[in-house]
Amino acid sequence: MKVTDCNDKKIKRVLIVGGGTSGWIAAASLSHLYNHADLNIRLVESQEIATVGVGEATVPHIRYFNARLGLDEREFMKSTQATFKLGNEFRNWGREGLRYAHPFGAFGESVAGVGFHHHWVRAHKKGLASEIGDYALSVQMMNKGRFALPDKDPQSVLSTFSYAYQFDAYLYAAYLRKYSEARGVVRTEGKVTHVEQHPETGDVTAIQLASGERIVADLFIDCTGFHGLLIEQTLKTGYEDWSHWLPNDRAWAVNCEIREGHLPLTRNTAHKVGWQWRIPLQHRLGNGYVHSSAFIDEQDALDTLMNNLEGPTLTEPKLLKFVTGKRKKQWNKNVVAIGLSSGFLEPLESTSIHLIHLAVTNLVEMFPDKDFRDEDRDEYNRIMSMEYTRVRDFLILHYHATERTDSEFWNYCRTMEIPDALKYEMDLFRQRAVVVNYKQKFFLEPSWLSVYFGQGVMPDSYDPLSERLNDAELEALMVHTKSRIDQAVDAMPSNGAFLEAYCPGSVTPEKALH
């Protein structure tokens, strides 16, 4: 009887179709983990096919992803023209003229076994507290344009925040390409003209390039963007359309000179239809206007963006078209879709690159053999679907929790039916200031609190255990928390000065004013 060698079942050839940010993140991750294994990793991309390349703002998880790859932070920041990011600033969302921050950090500290925000709600109702942002270190750092690295000592107030980056997505892809190729990834320039499938299973078996080359693989990773060459055009996987909750379907993007300075934040300013992003890099400013074609035409949207730039343009405006949603399966047969080919959620909370990291991490944890077990695919799809859905609901909150009545767009968002899970969460918060926390949930309590409070959603009540503090103790808690934060922030250097010292020569003096 023939004994089957288990090595025959091992995946030996991985083909990543498409480059850009998602393709090179996948290549870097796999080449780092399987550098000494018998795994051939190849990436095919075409310079004829433009990448989106506007997802320049990130969330703190990228630091841990980079650390796993062994990347040096200073070298990474210099190579990608990166700046520090402490969170997102929102203008005109709850109502026109309103400004708040979603920080990468906590609001105060739990006292007497009760979360700080419950004490704050009680204090605010009694007139004993100022705005919630006064009690978050990262918010005050953003407001004052200061920066310092977090402290590892949990007793230090400097341990209560985190940070991410803002960088050039093209340079990030190039940086990871260099990293990947040094670890054995082979890049092939070429345009795919045909995809071959197994006649019985439907699995993808090979691709053919315009050059005539045929490339065979065991596992295919689709990073071909919105087109979804393998996952959709070939496998007909299907797409869940979420545009009835998130109606924006267009974005103009353009780069300009930076004039205001290097503030450690991404700014999202709401307009009558949609919103505009401002992302400061070391060498330029990234701008974009996300909007809905059902409520504004493309020329008016472009005019809105161009009239709200702070400096001369460096590039021609680029129009992106999209449908918010996700693939019904992000892993179908022997194809895993990563990046825009797997789904799209507008960059309101800078989640695009995080979802790529998450997809790659889960693929590595469930890395298949040639049998491609249904159980692994189902679990991967379940996890990724849940992550997309929970990010989706958090984005919907920004649009639905508004008092704006100045346009049809905001009237639609304010009055639309929302997913049941989000309705339950909002109702619970309005009643008792409770934020629903799941075991697997990217945006944790401080994130939800920032949007709730920032957009005027105030709870009727709070945790009754807050009554353990009398009014004098409650007021003292507010004063002490704010004072401790103010002292820490005032002792920090400006963000521009810190960036110049951390990455010498990266920021010119006139641009390091803040």
Which one-letter amino acid corresponds to residue 88?
N
pLDDT of residue 508: 47
Strands 192-197 and 204-209: antiparallel
What's the helix, strand, coil split of the chain in %, to 5?
40, 20, 40
d(CA 25, CA 37): 19
Confidence check: pLDDT of 503 > 60: yes
pLDDT of residue 437: 82
464 in the Ramachandran plot: left (φ > 0), alpha (ψ -120 to 50) or beta? alpha
Confidence of residue 80 (pLDDT cuts 50, 70, 90): very high
Confidence of residue 451 (pLDDT cuts 50, 70, 90): very high
Confidence of residue 191 (pLDDT cuts 50, 70, 90): very high
pLDDT of residue 53: 53
pLDDT in tens, 225-268: 999 999 999 999 999 999 999 999 999 999 999 987 789 999 99
pLDDT of residue 37: 76
Contact (CB, 8 A) for 362 and 383: yes
Strands 266-270 and 40-45: unpaired
pLDDT of residue 300: 98
pLDDT in tens, 192-216: 999 999 999 999 999 999 999 999 9
d(CA 300, CA 316): 16
Confidence of residue 432 (pLDDT cuts 50, 70, 90): very high
Confidence of residue 345 (pLDDT cuts 50, 70, 90): very high
pLDDT of residue 52: 56
pLDDT of residue 510: 41
pLDDT in tens, 288-334: 999 999 999 999 999 999 999 999 999 999 999 999 999 999 999 99
| Closest C-alpha to 429, from 397, 409, 458, 455 | 458
pLDDT of residue 3: 43
Strands 40-45 and 83-85: unpaired
Q: What is the mean pLDDT of residues 9-29?
A: 96
pLDDT in tens, 36-49: 778 999 999 998 76
pLDDT of residue 439: 64
Q: What is the mean pLDDT of residues 64-74?
A: 96
Confidence of residue 507 (pLDDT cuts 50, 70, 90): low
pLDDT of residue 509: 39
Burial of 397 (0-12, 13-18, 19+ CB in 10 A): buried
Q: What is the mean pLDDT of residues 19-36?
A: 93
pLDDT of residue 7: 63
* Token pair of 193 as six digits: 């003209």
Q: What is the mean pLDDT of residues 391-416?
A: 98
What are the angstrom distances between the C-alpha of 325 and each of 60, 336, 392, 419, 441?
Answer: 24, 17, 8, 14, 18
| Closest C-alpha to 271, from 237, 304, 245 | 304
Confidence of residue 6 (pLDDT cuts 50, 70, 90): low
pLDDT of residue 390: 94
